[in-house]
Amino acid sequence: MSEVPPWLWIVLTLVAAGAQTMRNAMQRGLIGEIGTVAATHVRFLFGLPFVALAVVLVKVFTGLAPPRPTAAGLAWTFIGAVSQIGGTALLLAAMRERSFVTAIAYSKVEPVMVALFGLVFLGEVLSPPMAFAVLLATGGVMVTGWPKEAGGLAFSRQSVAFGIGSAALFAIAAVGYRGAIVAMPEAHFVVRATTTLFIAITIQTVLLTLWLAVRDRDKLAAMVRAWRPSLFAGFLGAFASQLWFLAFAIEQVARVRTLALVEILFGYVLSRRLFSEGVSRREIAGMVLVAAGVALLLNLPKPG
């Protein structure tokens, strides 16, 4: 991959984090209209046509047909797709608990788990300074999202388990997608990443559509009726996913997911712009830790 600029994964990740923040804002707006599960499914069902278009555009502009996935590649993709759905389900379950803020804070240990799973399953080694940067940025996110004692939020073992479980599944999903891209037959990284994304989002669309068709057809119908806002949310989801997969194709998954923590900084900027919400000293301290960890990560050489 010597032809790939060493800074490209940074740009891809930052733009993906920004697009994902906007998509999350749109999905939150849809929850009241179509429900949580259907609002979550929007990113898959309405994102699939855009990902299919991306496959076509890649074929047109590169002249390269999508590679035929290997058995290992399909297995990794299925693991990633199902884990991502499961992680979302556990996070939603945590949010139904009284102490949901605590669970969300615990879910932010994902980069640490990504580093561990990446080492075990993909052999991606982090140097001690890089591991410290991952821990520093992750700790910053947990400090930022930690519940306020004055808010009357009680700690719940169940919600904490849901939060850590969601982090583990999201980490497995990220490692699974990286493994799927690496297992693809030799081709340009854009072709491998786009093909893997198309397979993954197809699996997710089929599974969640069948789930809603069996469990809650009314919500599925409501999602179709709300196609205008859902379509834009799907586009943002597909756009962000495309960039995540491109980043996974050219860089260690732990570095990508740690840099992705800047999403919390984007989220606070968006909150202040849209809702004029203030930021506490604790939240500022947490964001400083995130920025410090990310800055350290970006200034360290990748292990040879």
**Measuring CA to CA, how many Å separate 93 from each of 152, 158, 161?**
20, 10, 10
The total of other beta-carbon atoms located within 10 Å of residue 5's CB is: 9
pLDDT one-digit tens code per residue, 246-297: 999 999 898 898 888 777 776 666 656 555 555 677 777 877 887 788 788 8
Please, are residues 107 and 164 in contact by the beta-carbon 8 Å criterion?
A: yes
Distance CA 181, CA 197 (A): 9
Predicted confidence at residue 151, as pLDDT, reads 47
Inter-residue long-range contacts of 246-249, CB under 8 Å, 24+ positions, other chains counted = 246/9, 246/12, 246/189, 246/190, 246/193, 247/9, 247/12, 247/13, 247/16, 248/174, 248/177, 248/178, 248/181, 248/193, 249/181, 249/189, 249/190, 249/192, 249/193
d(C-alpha 199, C-alpha 212), whole Å: 20
Complete DSSP assignment for 43-71: HHHTTHHHHHHHHHHHHHHH--PPPPPPH
The pLDDT value given to residue 202: 97
Q: Quick one: angle between helices 8-34 and 217-225, nearest 10?
A: 110
Helix 100-107, helix 157-183: angle, nearest 10: 30
Distance between CA atoms of residues 190 and 8, nearest Å:
12
Residues 231 and 47: their CA atoms lie apart, in Å, by: 8
Quote the pLDDT of residue 269. Answer: 65
Name the token pair of 105. 């804070």
Q: Which two tokens stand for residue 49?
A: 């046509």
State the pLDDT at residue 173: 95
Q: How many residues does the chain have?
A: 304
For every residue of 194-207, DSSP letters joined together read: HHHHHHHHHHHHHH
Residue 75 main-chain phi, psi, to 5 deg:
-65, -45
The letter for the amino acid at 223 is M
Distances from the Cα of 38 to the Cαs of 83, 222, 262, in angstroms?
Answer: 18, 8, 27
pLDDT along the chain (304 residues), means of 10: 79 89 72 75 91 95 89 96 86 56 61 86 85 84 63 56 83 94 90 96 94 88 84 90 94 88 70 58 77 79 66
CA neighbours within 13 Å on the CB side: how many for 78?
A: 8
* pTM for the whole structure: 0.83
**Phi, psi of 184, rounded to the nearest 5 degrees:** -65, 150
Residues 6+ apart with CB under 8 A from 265: 287, 290, 291
